[in-house]
A and B are shown apart, each in its own frame.
Chain A
Amino acid sequence: MTTAEKVQKRKPRDEKPFAHPYLAGTMLGLVLFASFFITGTGLGASGGLNRILVFFQDLVAPDHVNNTPYLLSLAGGDLNPLKSWIVYLTVGVVLGGFVSGWINGRIKAETNKGPQITVQQRWLFAFIGGAFMGYGARLARGCTSGQALSGGAVLSVGSWAFMFAVFAGAYALAYFVRKLWN
């Protein structure tokens, strides 16, 4: 994040507190509603990451992509996995997060962690957790955004079951990994 640091040096801003959860949630809901109202579909994040990843897999090993049914449906033959709205939405999320962080003076190269672990341990666990997330998100056909938030708002049974499963999984393990965060 060198660009971010430059921005910080040029124009130091005071770090502003986060918005009240109900306000942030209302804004999130309005964005989600706008997405449904304009395009008929909700939000997502893991789908975009998936397609960006498959794009690179297709560059490196096109034969492998063409021989793996799951990848084939995204990037087989002449299909360009980047030609999908979800990829642009994902890029938008990064831009929106950056601009908000910038305006509110919250862009800072740092590692957030519990006090009992080192920074390197935190990085390792972030990677491991991310791997679980990525795997689970593809198995569940969507992440917290695409399934829980979007499917939840339009009252899909599968999305609600999924949402409770995510919370159940996290709460069930929270006690055993409390050293990571407390």
Chain B
Amino acid sequence: MAPFPLNVFELFGEFGGYLVFLAIGFFFGYALEIGGFGKSDKLAAQFYFKDLTVLKVMFTGIIVAMLGVFLTSALGLLDYNLVWVNPTYLWPGIIGGLIMGVGFIVGGFCPGTSLVAMATGKIDGIFFVLGVLFGIFTFGETVEYFWDFFYSSYMGRFTLMDWLGIPTGYVVLIVVLMALFMFWGGEQLEKIFGGKDLNKEPKLRYAWAGGLIVIALAALLIGQPTIAEKWDSLAAEKEPLLEDSRAYQIHPGELLSVIHNDDIKLFMIDLRTESDYNLFHIEDAEHYTLEQLEADAATLRLEPSNAVFVVMSNNEELSTEAWKMLTAENLHNVYILEGGINYWLDVFASESSHNAKLVIRPGEEMTHTFNAALGAKHPAASPDPHLIEELEFEAKVKLELKKGPSGGGCG
């Protein structure tokens, strides 16, 4: 499998990398122009049902790109986890969208099409671009007054699959069928409102529609790689590091030092049962089940590259399982608490035991007993940071730079 995504800046240098983006932009502008997106009256006709070019070009673009992404993902050529999916900020997106709808019908363009209009000499396009710049300027000056709203209703990387709870292949097929139905409806509207003769439309478009359905069915039948399959493709490289050199199991002392390292954004993920968690947990550790963690993995991946994730269970069974899952889901800087909470308590629960020997126990039983559900109130939940110097351990945490893109086309 070829590396995905290509780091164009590493491959071609800074100049070459920018050239790649320049080329992509070039073909984007070219495609918009041949579609007629440089003419405001043609774009606005969309909203009077006379010419539904906007709907057709846009949704065709969406479904063709979607089929490409999910077919190559099914074939293992592209990793959907590493594709930038715009994070959902629901209400700012909806309100912003409504404002843009107003701008669209009043001004006749959207930002991308106005650039094409400007490039082909349309004077209204130039005025529109100036308006966009003015709007952006005004936003930059006023966003501080509604900062909370701008960051509200954040749902992370939230896909239609997560929302509907059905497998990717079916969502892709449904989106294709929905788009084709809209094209059919759009053509009927053009006939009624725009007086268009549908008999003059190329018959080839039926074959084209059939082809899109066939590709969607192929992606559905092949299926998207499961977490187990993704782990299998990584196992040859990761398993020796995990099991033989124990490169990812960090000593309680190292976890304590990471807790007190302000340069690191630490996530402690406690996978034990809720009752064990209530009896005792490390301060700031969050309770998760494996299922919850799997559902949240995509959002955790959006954390900055100084984020470190430490998974923990009573021993190492559950935490190792979680580690494999998060690694297969392309999270970086994931570590396992060595020996689990049991070993943490061996080391920190009493004054005399700080250099307790590591015992890796099978199963997931808690070996220490508590008389009350102390949670994080137990002294061992937040040990004295001075102990870091007394403890002997090998430091293993290394911050690994993120592979995927860190932002979409909106930054």
Contacts and interface: CB of A to CB of B under 8 A. Distances in A.
Interface of A: 1, 4-5, 18-47, 49-50, 53-54, 57, 68-71, 84-86, 88-101, 104, 106-114, 119, 122-174, 177-178, 180-182
B65 A181 contact: no
B64 interface: yes
A165 to B, nearest CB: 3
B97 A163 contact: yes
B184 interface: no
Interface in B355-411: 404-405, 407-411
B161 interface: yes
A169 B45 CA distance: 15
B72 interface: yes
Interface stretch (B118-126, B265-273, B314-322): B118-126
B20 interface: yes
A69 to B, nearest CB: 6
B210 to A, nearest CB: 13
B100 A154 contact: no
Contact of B69 (A36, A138, A159, A172): A36
B28 A33 contact: no
A76 to B, nearest CB: 12
B58 interface: yes
Given A41-B408, A70-B143, A144 B112 contact: yes
B297 interface: no
A101 to B, nearest CB: 4
A40 B405 contact: yes
A93 B223 CA distance: 35
Nearest to A44: B409
A93 B112 CA distance: 8
A135 B104 contact: no
A90 B32 CA distance: 13
A181 B29 CA distance: 25
B236 interface: no
Nearest to B112: A45
B122 A112 contact: yes
What are the 4 tightest A-B residue pairs by CB atom distance, in nearest-first order? A129-B107, A169-B101, A44-B409, A92-B25
Most buried by A among B39, B105, B122, B138: B105
B111 interface: yes
Contacts of A125: 106-108
7 contacts: A29-B68, A132-B135, A136-B99, A149-B62, A154-B83, A159-B88, A170-B104
A36 B162 CA distance: 21
B85 A140 contact: no
B108 A24 contact: no
Interface string B264-294: 0000000000000000000000000000000
B189 interface: no
Contacts, number: 587
Contact of A25 (B57, B99, B408): B57
A94 B411 contact: no
Contacts of A30: 64-65, 68
A141 B86 contact: yes
Contact of A130 (B33, B56, B129): B129
A25 B59 contact: yes
A127 B35 contact: no
B108 A112 contact: yes
B132 A131 contact: yes
A54 B143 CA distance: 15
B155 to A, nearest CB: 7
B17 interface: yes
Given A97-B115, A148-B58, A181 B160 contact: no
Contacts of B26: 92-93, 95-96, 99
Contacts of B47: 170-171, 174, 181
Interface stretch (B2-10, B243-251, B331-339): B2-10
B111 A133 contact: yes
A85 B84 contact: no
A126 B124 contact: yes
Interface in B154-186: 155, 157-163, 171-172, 175, 183
Contacts of A38: 5-6, 8, 20, 24
B35 A165 contact: no
B118 A134 contact: no
B1 interface: no
Contacts of B136: 46, 49-50, 53, 134-135, 137-138
A169 B410 contact: no
B127 A37 contact: no
